[in-house]
A = this chain, B = another copy of it.
Amino acid sequence: MSRSITYRDAINEAILQEMKRDERVFVYGIDVADHKRIFGSTRGLVETFGPERCFSTPLSEDALTGMALGAAVNGLRPILVHMRVDFMLLGMNQIANMISSFRYGSGGLVNVPLVIRAVIGRGWGQSYQHSKTMHASFAHIPGIKVVMPATPYDAKGMLISAIRDDNPVIFIEHRWLYDAYGEVPEEPYTEPLSQAKVLRSGKDITIVATSWMNVEAVKAAEVLSKAGISAEVIDARSISPFDETVIVDSVKKTGHCIVIDDDWIHCGFGAEVAARVSEQCFGNLKSPVERMGYAATPCPCARPLENLFYPNAVSLIKKIENKFDLEPIDLTGEDFYSYEKKFRGPF
């Protein structure tokens, strides 16, 4: 009955099933149909649905983004794929000025059902032009939905929801998650696009995480439990529209909150979480909401600096040790995610 597959395969399955169900769905973008198939996530689409419904394109992100809008308002349900969110920024004008407001500007008469998938996350020392996330900047614009699933289950369920949704949805996938395994039902199902999700229950502190940072947070929570700290990990996952209820309820219970966001801190999504929690848990908070995220620098290439650039389970553990004035936990023997073990170049 239960079946464990990777995040990559979960995405792939969601697309395959939706394309089968609904012939209006098609997939396009730079290199979606080459033999590498966007890290494997667009596997089988050309074979199953032909080059009309899955095709590689010229290197023209700006036009490709506008095309999604045109195809959507004319009755199709496009999925545009960017191998890196950094490339999506070439289509920022279309996202911010055109896609987000089309429905409003039609007086609500025309829906804009489109999905833009974009990959984020560390690779093999890619440094500063292949390492952005920017979900806060997209989420800032009303009219767009922004989601970041962190588990294979959510990847499939939320992608199906996104494809079926009648609004533009930006769907952000972390590259390291691609190899993560998790239980995923074979049949199609949907997950809500605007609800946070408790990944791990706890009572002493609420950790709100996004994307890969959930993996770090869960690991940190496991380690902390050995020191008697019971951490609740909440995957924010729906960046916009953002419903803080789950998070607020948790913090009202725990009294402490740390946000660990897979992005820069300044004017990032973490600020939004901190602002809402601080407002709505006013009086319940036993310590100020703290934020973690990328260092306030462009992403460096050199591994030792890159390791400092990104927050992780260890830096999260340290932060929480500080908060609770704990003795440093002995981390020897702990198996943290290591690049070297799981991820190789060249890309």
Contacts and interface: CB of A to CB of B under 8 A. Distances in A.
Interface of A: 62, 86, 89-90, 92-93, 96-98, 100-101, 104-105, 127-129, 132, 134, 136-137, 139-143, 239-240, 242, 263-264, 266-272, 274-275, 278-280, 282, 285, 287-291, 296-298, 300
Contacts of A132: 96-97
Nearest to A86: B97
* Copies of this chain assembled into the complex: 2
B298 A288 contact: no
A282 B279 CA distance: 12
Contacts of A105: 127-128, 298
Given A92-B92, A128-B105, A282 B275 contact: no
Top 7 A-B pairs, shortest CB-CB distance: A278-B278, A274-B275, A101-B298, A92-B92, A282-B288, A137-B137, A279-B288
17 contacts: A90-B93, A92-B93, A100-B298, A104-B297, A105-B128, A134-B137, A137-B267, A139-B267, A140-B264, A142-B264, A142-B298, A143-B297, A267-B269, A267-B271, A274-B278, A282-B287, A282-B288
Given A274-B278, A275-B274, A278-B274, A268 B97 contact: no
A280 B288 contact: yes
Given A86-B97, A93-B92, A272 B279 contact: no
Given A96-B134, A105-B298, A140-B266, 20 more contacts: A62-B62, A89-B96, A89-B97, A90-B93, A92-B92, A97-B129, A101-B129, A104-B300, A105-B127, A134-B137, A136-B267, A137-B267, A143-B298, A271-B274, A271-B275, A275-B275, A275-B278, A278-B279, A279-B291, A282-B287
A136 B270 CA distance: 13
